[in-house]
Amino acid sequence: MPPKKSGKQNKKLTIQQERVKADREATQKAIQDKNDHTLLDNEIAEREKVAAAERQEFENKIALTRQIQENFLPRFQKMPKVELHAHLSGSISRKTIEFLMNSDLKRAKQILSKYHLNEPKDMDRVFDTFGIIHEILEKPEALRVATLEMVRDFVKDGCVYLEIRTGPKNTPFMTKETYLKVVVDAVKEAQLEHPQIKVFLVISFDRSLVYEEANELLHLIGKFQLETNVIVGVELGGNPKLSGIHLLSIFQLARRFHGLGVTLHLAELESQTDDVLDYLMMLPDRVGHGTFLHTNPKFVEMMSFYKIPLGEFICSENQNKVFILEICLSSNVYSKTVPSIHDSHFKYWKTKGVPLSICTDDKGVIPGATLTEEYYKAAVAFSLTTADLIQINIDALRSSFAYKYNVTDLRDTWRKIHHNTLE
């Protein structure tokens, strides 16, 4: 029989047991912690691996896109293209701005930071960009240079027919009449300098003009039109939040009495389509953007009713009824009226057989939006073949004001487009 333990011995034993228990628990906890950390480390490592793979995939995609662009963009650049919708104030290149700032690169950088959009913005912010450019085009010589450089840029980009849009402004150095004279003379100069491109002017009527101002402008246009063959059409433009219905009769007069082509920025915003039906009823030659035309059955009915089959079947008496939509893919994305190029209304109207033209709108403001890049983006987004792109240019030239109103001989331009050559 073992000797009976005293109370002191029992207490010592309990303390020892507790110590052993505590040590065991500490060891277990350490093992558990180590396991937890290992798990966490593994999880972090796994996530890093996934993130690195995603990064690599993204970089590969960018490299592939760059490679495709490098391989394919020259082909798109060499394609003879028609530009029906390009605003002078939105198409000034970085090089031209630097030149106009007398090589003051600091000032040029400040201007470009306001003029150039880095990401999509709402419509008001897009319109803010034009304020800064109007300031640098206040003087006649700057306006002349900007017009000439815009034409040179388009020539380099493979454009064979260009309609430049601009709205005359009173500046501290020019009246509206002087403004018109400067751009008309600059276009005449460009026509002589670049015989490989047909270039004309479309004069803008801003939605903010009151009727009397618009009427005065129409008289001025009539005067210059009599003297030269440079102004071929008029357009409704400006902030699409404003209705332009008060200017409807100006466009009717421009067509009826001056024989000018009519193109209208319509349905650019879903929230403002008050003037669309009345303007469609006047059968404009062309519609700019028309981003939300397909959302209203009445507009769709109008567009479909007046759509005439193109190609061999067109005849002179109905050709003036053909609507063409001037689609500006990147511009719509950068003014947030469509979420992406894939979501553009281009697809809807193409399926309906409505003729479309691919246009830049404001290549100076919007990054990656030269005419070549817009053709490339359209081809990728909507799986367009070379034959489709040639047809788009044929439709565009057929809807050009110089063709519709017999302003000039376009036989050589037709030949280039049909044979897909700039030579």
CA–CA separation, 361 and 396 (whole Å): 15
Alpha-carbon span 195 to 412, nearest angstrom: 11
What is the closest distance, in whole angstroms, from the C-beta atom of residue 87 to Zn ion in the complex? 6
Return the number of the residue (275 or 361) whose C-beta is nearest Zn ion: 361
Q: Specify the DSSP class assigned to residue 232.
A: E
Tokens describing residue 285: 């030659």
Closer residue to Zn ion in complex, CB, 251/414: 251
Answer yes or no: 149 catalytic. Answer: no
Helix (H) or strand (E) holding 165: strand 159-166
Give whichever of 81 and 363 is closer to Zn ion, judged by the CB atom: 363
Minimum gap (Å) between residue 138 Cβ and Zn ion:
22
Choose the stretch contacting Zn ion; rule: CB under 5 A; options: 43-51, 120-128, 361-369, 403-411: 361-369
* By the rule CB under 5 A, 275 interacts with Zn ion: no
**Is residue 361 near Zn ion by the rule CB under 5 A?**
yes
CA 354 – CA 51 distance, rounded (Å): 45
* Minimum distance, C-beta of residue 180 to Zn ion, in the bound complex (Å): 19
Beta carbon nearer to Zn ion, 140 or 167: 167
Amino acid in position 67: Q
216-242 core/surface letters (b: 16 or more CB in 10 A; e: else): ebbebbeebbeeeebbbbbbbbbbbee
Our CB check for Zn ion shows the closer of 149 and 361 to be 361
Residue 357 Cβ vs Zn ion, minimum distance, rounded to whole Å: 13
Interaction with Zn ion in 376-405: which residues (CB under 5 A)? Answer: none
Q: 69: part of which helix (H) or strand (E)?
A: helix 7-77
H-type alpha helices, 228-296: 248-258, 276-281
- How many residues make contact with Zn ion (CB under 5 A)? 1
Name the residue whose CB lies closest to Zn ion: 361
Q: What token pair was written down for 216?
A: 């005065």
With contacts defined by CB under 5 A, name the span among 30-38, 195-203, 353-361, 414-422 that binds Zn ion.
353-361
Q: Are 248 and 421 in contact (CB under 8 A)?
A: no
Q: How far apart are CB 329 and Zn ion at their closest, in Å? A: 13
DSSP 4: P
Non-local (6+) Cβ contacts of 353 within 8 A are: 307, 309
Report which of 96, 99, 134 is spatially closest to residue 114, judged by C-alpha positions: 134
Which is nearer to Zn ion, 361 or 373 (by Cβ)?
361
Q: Which one of 3-11, 107-115, 317-325, 357-365 is the stretch in contact with Zn ion (CB under 5 A)?
A: 357-365
* Consecutive H or E run containing 27: helix 7-77
State the catalytic residue, choosing from 149, 268, 326, 373: 268
Stretch that binds Zn ion, among 45-53, 95-103, 358-366, 387-395 (CB under 5 A): 358-366
The nearest distance, CB 83 to Zn ion, in angstroms, is: 12
For tokens 């913005």, name the residue.
121
Element (H, E) at 124: helix 123-136
* Beta-bridge partners for 324: 286
Which CB atom, from 153 or from 417, has the smaller least distance to Zn ion? 153
The minimum distance between CB 328 and Zn ion, in angstroms, equals 6
Name which of 163 and 361 has its Cβ closer to Zn ion.
361
User: Least distance to Zn ion from the beta carbon of 264, Å?
Assistant: 10
Helix (H, G, I), strand (E, B) or coil at 236: strand
Instruction: Tell me how far apart the alpha carbons of residues 46 and 232 are, in angstroms, rounded to a whole number.
Output: 64
Q: Is 235 a residue that touches Zn ion (CB under 5 A)?
A: no
Q: Tokens 């003009």 sit at which residue?
A: 209
Q: Could you list the active site residues? A: 268
- Contacting positions for Zn ion (CB under 5 A): 361
